[in-house]
Structures are given as C-alpha cells and as structure tokens.
Amino acid sequence: MLGFMREKGAPPSEAEAEAEAKPRPSIEGGWSKVRTIATSSGTHVYEALSSNGVTVVVKHVSFPSLKYCVAPRWYDERKIELQIEISILSRLQHKHIVGYWGWYKTEEMVDIWYEYINGNSIKEVYLEGKFNRSNIPVYTRQILEVLKYLHKNNVIHRDLSCSNILLDENGVVKLAGFHFAQQIEGEKAVPRDKEPEEWVRWAAPEILIPSEAHSEPASEVWRCLHKLIPEGLHCGPASDIWSLGCTVLEMATASVPYSNMSLWDAVGEVFEGKLPMVPEELPNDCRDFIKTCLQFKPSNRLTAAQLLCHPFIAHAKD
C-alpha cells in the first residue's frame, strides 16, 4: 500500500492547501461535454462541466469499444492499468501534478475525473512556435521536484515526455499522463510489455525489454540489452531519469528524440548503445545535464534529488 497520507496534526502541504481551496466537482451528479481533447482506442478525453458548474477533464473509457479496438491480451492489461492509475492518482498530491478528483465506474465504462488546466502541453507550445527555451531550466527543476516526490513514494511515471507536461495559465508545470505509472515492488517494476508506439523514443533501455513470451528475435534483443546493462534488466526510478534527459532534449530542440528515423530504427539505436543526438550548439550545462541522464546503465544515472543540484538548474527560479 502506498503511504501518501498526511500525518495526524501535521500542517497541510502547499499542494493540499491549493487543492482544498479549489471548488470540488460533484461526481455523483454526472457531467456534460464541452469539447473533445483527445481520442484513442476506446478512450475519450473531454473538457467537461460537472453538475455543480466546475470545469473538469474526464477520461471516459468504454469497455466494449476498448475490447473492439485492441487485441485480447491488451484489453485485459488495459483494464488492470486503469485500476493501477486510479489507485496511484488517489494517493498523489503535489503542486506540479494535475489534480485528481475521483472516478465513476459501471460494467460498461469508467470515468476518471481530473483537474482542468487552462493551458497547453509543452509539445503543443513548441509546435506553435511559442516556446521560450530560456524557461527550460525552470521547467526541468519543477519536473525533478515531481520525480523526487514520486520516487520517494515508490512510484515511477514511465511515460515522461513534453506531451504529458502541461503548463497552466501562469506557466507552471503540471505533470499528467499517469496511465502507465506503476508502484515499485521490491525496488523493481515490470517492463512495459507493449507494441512499439511513439513512447519508445523516450523509453529507457530497460523499459524496452521484450516479454519472455515473445519469439526468438526477441531473445536476441534481450541478449543485446544484457550486454548494455549486465547488472540486471528491470525498470525503476532511473528509467524516469532517462526519459527526463530525452524530454529536456525535446524541449531544447523542439523535436522528439530520434526524430529523423522510424520507431523500429530508434529502438535499434538504443539496442546498439547509441544515444539520441545532442546538438553541439546547446549550452554546455544543458548538454551535460542531458548526457548525465542518458547513461545506459541505470546505476550510473543520478537520482532526481541529486540532479536538483546540477548547475543547469541549480539557480533556476520560478
């Protein structure tokens, strides 16, 4: 069980005080759609209005639609991931994490209610050509504060990228995208046993490990990875640090890692021990920060707490 509860008598944290000050939506009263934010494989994300007039974000998952859209093995796993997501979100409270309001479930569907952020993702901002690179150290520090909090509480995010980092109306980071988050058991977590999608560009080598149930080609990949990471093939907090390095690189270049190649070629680069290209024109402390994160052996990566002292962000202020 995760231990996020405040001790009796302790003063509320900044995040708790902020959450308590916001009007709470009435989940029991249902919601009405304002607009569609995103759609994929039986899942729809909406900006919505609760029955008591609070603007929220609702992730609506239709089980019949999900079953139609994905293979049977992914359907069962996706339902488990939803349970894990809800369990983790219900225990998280941090000023740089998108707030969680609650959930509602029937036999046919589940709705997960989130805080509405009046802003865009960092990826949306840089695609519009409005991203200010001078803010990268500040955003990176805020992301590290979240990772420090998560890792202290034995949770790893596993899907860090500019698409899942929102900026509110004040330009403050709010981390979202906890659908692949996982509680660490015994300092280890299972790899993401998924078909390659866009997320692999940010994934640490240990997260790209194929399932033992896969065929012989996967075994060859496993042997390649074992040469890179001889101390053991598992994902943990260090996996998020690799993804952070890729995310800082994405902010600095306004493009995804391995942007000049296909997904499979990107995976091949990782298996061959090749880092994504870090442009020479980036500031030295930025380049050093990225390369410090992108260490193939997880044990060689610094922790979030240690990286908060790196020169690249040490003097960054909100």
CB atoms under 10 Å from CB of 195, counted, come to: 9
pTM over 0.75, yes/no: yes
CB atoms under 10 Å from CB of 302, counted, come to: 16
3-state SS class at 293: helix
- Cα–Cα distances in Å, from 318 out to 129, 134, 136, 139, 309? 22, 12, 11, 9, 16
76 is catalytic: no
Instruction: For 193-245, write each residue's pLDDT tens digit.
Output: 444 467 888 988 877 754 443 334 445 555 555 555 444 456 789 999 999 99
How many angstroms separate the CA atoms of 58 and 110, rounded? Answer: 10
User: Looking at residue 131, what is its pLDDT?
Assistant: 95
Active-site residue, selected from the candidate residues 76, 168, 240, 288: 168
CB of 57 closer than 8 Å to CB of 115:
yes
User: Looking at residue 40, what is its pLDDT?
Assistant: 80
DSSP single-letter state for residue 276: P
* CA angle (205 as vertex; 203, 206 as ends), nearest 5: 100
- Please report the domains of the chain, with CATH numbers, ordered by start residue: 23-115 (3.30.200.20), 120-307 (1.10.510.10)
3-state SS class at 11: coil
Low-confidence spans in the chain with pLDDT less than 50: 1-12, 187, 190-196, 210-218, 229-232
- Residue of 105, 102, 116 whose CA lies nearest to 57: 116
